[in-house]
Amino acid sequence: MKRGEIWQTKFDPALQSEGSGERSAIIISIDQLNDSKMPLVTTILLTTSQPRVEGRLNIRIEPSHENGLTKTSWAQPHITRSMNKQRLLFLRGRLGTDDLTRVEQALRSVLGL
């Protein structure tokens, strides 16, 4: 599990607007933590539901062979979740450098960093 990888995950159980069911998510935690014995990784939810507005809350990710997505998706950095590694079902792929940079910039903006 590495930063920038896209994994199919199981988000249930979820409350209200957290995101639920099986979803793709980007691992955003640093590899030092991902490789440790800590059972958690930090993820950003992806959705295939087209948002009303694109911007720092909805970062468009086009499908590619590298990232393993089959539909245009939107990273939602305001829906950041630490989850147990056991919730990671399978590796879909990896974000390209440009997409990862855009997601990181949006995450910094959302968190005020």
For 102, phi then psi, to 5°, come to -65, -40
pLDDT over 90 percentage in the chain? 73
* pLDDT over 90 at 35, yes or no: yes
Q: Which of 2, 37, 24 is nearest to 81 (CA)?
A: 24
Tell whether the model's pLDDT for residue 18 goes beyond 80.
no
Domain 5-111 matching CATH 2.30.30.110: the answer reads yes
Q: Where would I find the beta strands (DSSP E) of the chain?
A: 5-10, 22-27, 40-47, 59-61, 73-84, 88-94
In this prediction the pTM is 0.89
